[in-house]
Amino acid sequence: MHNRERIGIAGAAWSVGLFAVLYDHFRPSAQLLTGVHALFAVVTCGAICRVLIDKARALGRRSPTELYDFTRLVSRWVYILLYALALLRTFVYLYEAGRYCPICSSGDTVGPARPLDDFQFYVGCCLVSLWSVRALVLAVPFGGRDSLRTATSQPANTAHASTPSSAIPDPRHAQA
């Protein structure tokens, strides 16, 4: 996976998070709010899984320190995503608390300010998926793509290889 693909995956996760925070503010439909939250949870967990597991499979067992450094980099970017969403949520809260609409220049047109407790869902989705997938990637040895190729390139019919006579080399197959 190239950096361009990782940036696209991170951009998709951030866009869904932005949509979810703004959906929390506008609340066009209370029934769809759970669906929007579930969408954020699935996209965020999927993005973390995709990036970390793909890198673990690409590295295999060759470089555990490089894998550890990469998981730390992904952790930093997940925290940056959370900080950006928290900053947006704080701006929305301050807008709601001011009860002044700069677009229509009138006061008391904005609904009551909701507490910032609803942001705990976003923190929980990101951190639970990050910590669990990171622990899985660092604990489970991934064979890598090279070992998958060698495992699948074995001959299909190896039943005769278990007989004792197969230990004696066949002179017809001797290399010259």
Q: Which long-range contacts (CB under 8 A, 24 or more apart) does 39-45 make?
A: 40/16, 40/122, 40/125, 41/125, 41/129, 43/12, 43/13, 43/16, 44/13, 44/16, 44/17, 44/81, 44/125, 44/126, 44/129, 45/125, 45/129, 45/133
Its pTM surpasses 0.75? no
Helix (H) or strand (E) holding 106: strand 106-107
Per-residue pLDDT tens digits for 103-116:
665 655 556 667 67
For residues 154-166, give the mean pLDDT.
49
Per-residue pLDDT tens digits for 35-75:
898 999 999 999 999 999 888 888 877 788 888 899 999 99
* d(C-alpha 58, C-alpha 7), whole Å: 18
Lowest pLDDT segment from 18-22, 101-105, 156-160? 156-160
User: How many Cβ atoms from other residues are within 10 Å of residue 106's Cβ?
Assistant: 11
The residues spanned by each domain of the chain are 3-143
